[in-house]
Chain A
Amino acid sequence: MSSAETTHAPFDPAVLFKTAFLAVVAIFVLVPLLATLLGGFKSLGELRVNPFGWPAHWEWQNYADILFSGRYWQLLRNSLIISTLTVTLTLITASMAAFTFAHVKFYGSSMLLSYLTLGLLFPAATAVLPLFIKVRDLGLLDTYFGVALPQVAFSLAMSVLLLRRFFKDIPHELLEAALVDGCSYIKFFRYVTLPLSRPILATVGTITFVNSWNAYLLPLVMLNTDALYPWPLGIMIYQGEYSSEWHLILAFITLTILPTIILFLLAQKHIVAGLTAGAVKG
């Protein structure tokens, strides 16, 4: 609205202030991240005297050791398995439920929907002890499913709401006409609703994936075997082992957040839209 007038006035103090302000915030955000990336290239001795600057001598060994260890890849693999399970199951169960709530009229529909939205009201942590006992009694303790299933359950409320809102925009006449022509609800769901809903499925999938990929509390409670740990658990253990060898820990942090940052750069639009849209509906 006012970009025209600001560019015409070269010595506007407001522009100067704005630039300075943005620069300060950018530095505030960037410095910890860059120091982490560069710290991984330093020796411990150099880190102590020069934590900010460019490495005087590039220690590629820190990163190489981690990349060539099985440990790093195992952590990423576990995280990928758990997140993929969670996303797949969430998308399947939530889209089926959302379709029913959007297109099938039945007694108690709105009641059941508000029942599901109860899940938005409180965090998973509140009932994590009974949840642990439930997962144990089901024999799922120390399995990928023991983490994934509760994650699916807790992502359902938001996912169903987002999907239902989108599904409702598909004209109801389309469904009625298809039914008259002998197409079943299920075929309509499979061949019309789902293909038309790729954007919202991508959004819901992204939210669920990021949440599951970053999750700490549930895996911490449900898993006991190192071999099954996702990366947030693994990195805490790694930090415990190398308590003050910061150069190694920083390299490890950099490598574990790298997939997130790459994904973010590749799919910025989906991620920003997803995380804010999800929020707005919550």
Chain B
Amino acid sequence: MEAGQLTVARRIAIVSAMGVAGETVPQVAVRGPSWDGRFTVLILFLPPALLLFTLFVVLPIGEAAWYSAFNWNGFGRPTNWIGFDNYRFVLETRAFWLALRNNGLIIAVSLAIQLPLALTLALMLAERFRGAVALRMLFFMPYILAEIATGLIFSFVYDGDYGLVASIWRTFGAEPPHLLASTDTAMLAVLIVIVWKYFGFHMMLFIAALQGLDKSLIEAARIDGATRSQALRHVVIPLLYPTIRLSVFFAIVGSLQLFDLVMPLTRGGPADSSNTMVSFLYNNGISRMRVGYGSAIGVILFVICVTFAFTYKRWFMRDE
């Protein structure tokens, strides 16, 4: 079947190529069928995607804005109009600000630890030596594991009775801590898992960029007498700025969506100390079917995401 398709494709390609070579094709012949064909394509090919997208992506956002003005449990029609009260309730909730702070922490850790780590590893592994490819794959692997599975693996690692951390503590004769059960350490534990899971993805972005770099620029710098570290600082890193900006963009967007990883680890607790925006939305809106309140959180999150995306793209990323 594969071969069949290819031959058909090739035949059409050949026929078409001859058509191009012919050149003296009367315009009328082109206009007639091609407009009809265009119309058929427009009618058949666009609606499925546009319909699905409108129905399940755009309309729900609009409806979130509408529902957020009601006190509604999702059954029947929304009737109890309360205006902007839901937004006031959200902004008065301490857990909301904690979640926002945690999202800020995730971004800070991504910038201060994950990004330098990923960049360093990329610079090491972009060179060719035995084992480089295997290491790249190993470091990338956490990224493709489901966040749920990752969360569960680390809830074992952190477990105060059976976990790896507990075992290390015991060898030093100390009483093992329950990292995920304490408001002081839960978020820190989540942050470590985030670095574990995502640094490989950012590393791959940098490796892809490094392999696309124009090597002659670096060679030119070396010939002109730049040391390796000077060439790195003044040539390679500046050439990587677009990728760095991209990596930062993904770290921030990723932090705003983070949910799956938090659930198996802490469910946002204890005492809301490790909620992200989305797990806060889940715990306070979805799981209790408070449609109005949850929609208000959703709208706030939407505004944050869109504002961020537009300003970031305008300020830092001029392409696309």
Contact = CB atoms under 8 A, between A and B. Distances in A.
Interface of A: 1-3, 6-7, 18, 21-22, 25-26, 28-33, 35-36, 39, 44, 47-48, 50-52, 92-94, 96-97, 99-100, 104-106, 112, 115-116, 118-134, 149-150, 152-154, 156-157, 160, 173-186, 188-189, 191-192, 195-196, 210, 213-214, 216-217, 221, 232, 235-236, 239, 244, 246, 249-250, 253, 256-257, 260-261, 264, 268, 271-272, 275-276, 279-282
Contact of A35 (B127, B157, B215): B157
Contact of B250 (A44, A93, A130, A279): A279
A134 B260 CA distance: 23
Nearest to B302: A126
A282 B145 CA distance: 21
A99 B38 CA distance: 11
Nearest to A216: B260
Interface stretch (B2-10, B90-98, B105-113, B181-189): B2-10
Report the contact-size class of chain B (Cβ under 8 Å from the partner): 35 or more
Given A154-B57, A213-B146, 11 more contacts: A32-B153, A35-B157, A97-B46, A116-B50, A123-B253, A129-B285, A130-B298, A150-B56, A214-B148, A275-B201, A276-B208
A134 B56 CA distance: 8
B19 A268 contact: no
Shortest Cβ-Cβ A-B pairs, 9 listed:
A177-B16, A177-B19, A153-B56, A127-B60, A214-B146, A97-B49, A130-B63, A123-B257, A96-B45
A153 B256 CA distance: 20
B167 interface: yes
Contact of A256 (B149, B205, B299): B149
Interface in B106-157: 117, 120-121, 124-125, 127-129, 135, 137-149, 152-154, 156-157
B219 A1 contact: yes
Contacts of A22: 121, 124-125, 135
A77 B23 CA distance: 55
A141 to B, nearest CB: 12
Contacts of A160: 49
A279 B253 CA distance: 11
Nearest to B157: A32
A216 B5 contact: no
